[in-house]
Amino acid sequence: MTDLPSFEALQLWYIQLLTAARPDLDLKSITTLAANATEVALDYAKAHPYSTTISVISIGLTPVLGSGWMLSPLLRLVGFTPLGPAAGKADSST
């Protein structure tokens, strides 16, 4: 299993996210919120390493599988076309 990201790296990510999402907040509030979010995220990752790993992998695979470039050829092999199942391809009643 890989090591968790450093507190500072994760906190910087939260600061960037909060700055973009809430430009009305001052830097001190953003830094405090980022520190709290970082502590919660790292505590959760330490307490639940398997669910964290599965979540990170699934989030990483979403663009790959969602784009269809990998799944589309597999679906065509079993008889699917862009418009739906091909006639007579997946019929198991005959």
> Considering the entire predicted model, what is its pTM?
0.54
Q: How far apart are CA 49 and CA 58, in angstroms?
A: 14
Q: Is the confidence at residue 58, as pLDDT, over 60? A: yes
Residue 1: per-residue pLDDT: 47
Residue 70: per-residue pLDDT: 73
SS (H, E, C) 13-41: HHHHHHHHHCCCCCHHHHHHHHHHHHHHH
Helix axes 49-67, 27-47, angle to 10 degrees: 100
Give the chain's mean pLDDT.
82
pLDDT interval class at 72 (50, 70, 90): confident
Residue 5: per-residue pLDDT: 67
H helix or E strand, kind and range, residue 10: helix 7-21
- Domain spans of the chain? 1-64
SS3 state at 90: coil
Q: How far apart are CA 10 and CA 38, in angstroms?
A: 6
**Average pLDDT, integer, range 54-79:** 80
H helix or E strand, kind and range, residue 42: helix 27-47
